Amino acid sequence: VGARTTANPFAVQEIADALRGRNVEVMVKNPLNPDPALWIGALQRIKEAGVKHIYAIHRGFSSYGKNIYRNPPQWQVALEVKQQMPDIPMICDPSHMGGARKHISPLSQKSLDLGYDGLMVEVHHNPEKAWSDKSQQLTPEAFQRILENLIIRNEATATESTKLDCLR
């Protein structure tokens, strides 16, 4: 479910109704604006339709003005969703957050440090010829290097100060 659709409860309900009784996996991206209640509402509608495999996709949020990132993470919003719906895996999309290849590795590491359950990264065999979002796509080789350098910590080793820093 795309970010624009997540922001529309009527559209999300139609999707939920269409999925009722089906064994499918559903990924629900965060809405464009940092509204945890809207995101949680979309996740709940899909869950109430009986979908058992739901994932929350954190792709960052729209903002006005100059930013380092295309869609600033505003980690505290996703952490609030994760806290209220701990049974739904939280997946980070550092490609859309960063908007540029150079941001993917640090955003990926930060999400893993915050206890995210996985990553969704854009990879293309020739990013310069991609039809869209070419500046945020990695080659398979670059993706492999990032994966090799990620440090996966278990929750016991993730420091409380890392989570507190994010919430500040």
How would you classify residue 59: left for phi > 0, otherwise alpha for psi between -120 and 50, otherwise beta?
alpha
Strand partners, 90: 56
pTM attached to this predicted model: 0.89
* 53-58 β-sheet, strand order: 25-29, 53-58, 90-92, 118-119
Rounded to whole angstroms, the Cα distance separating 49 from 22 reads: 9
pLDDT digits (tens, 9 = 90+) for 138-150: 999 999 999 999 9
Rounded to whole angstroms, the Cα distance separating 142 from 16 reads: 37
**% of the chain exceeding 90 in pLDDT:** 87
Residue ranges with strand state E in 3-159:
25-29, 53-58, 90-92, 118-119
Asked if 51 and 24 count as a contact pair (C-beta separation under 8 A), the reply is: yes
φ and ψ of 87, to 5 deg = -80, -10
CA dihedral 131, 58, 74, 139 (to 10 degrees): -40
- pLDDT tens, N- to C-terminus, the chain (168 residues): 999 999 999 999 999 999 999 999 999 999 999 999 999 999 999 999 999 999 999 999 999 888 999 999 999 999 999 999 999 999 999 999 999 999 999 999 999 999 999 999 999 999 999 999 999 999 999 999 999 999 988 655 455 555 556 555
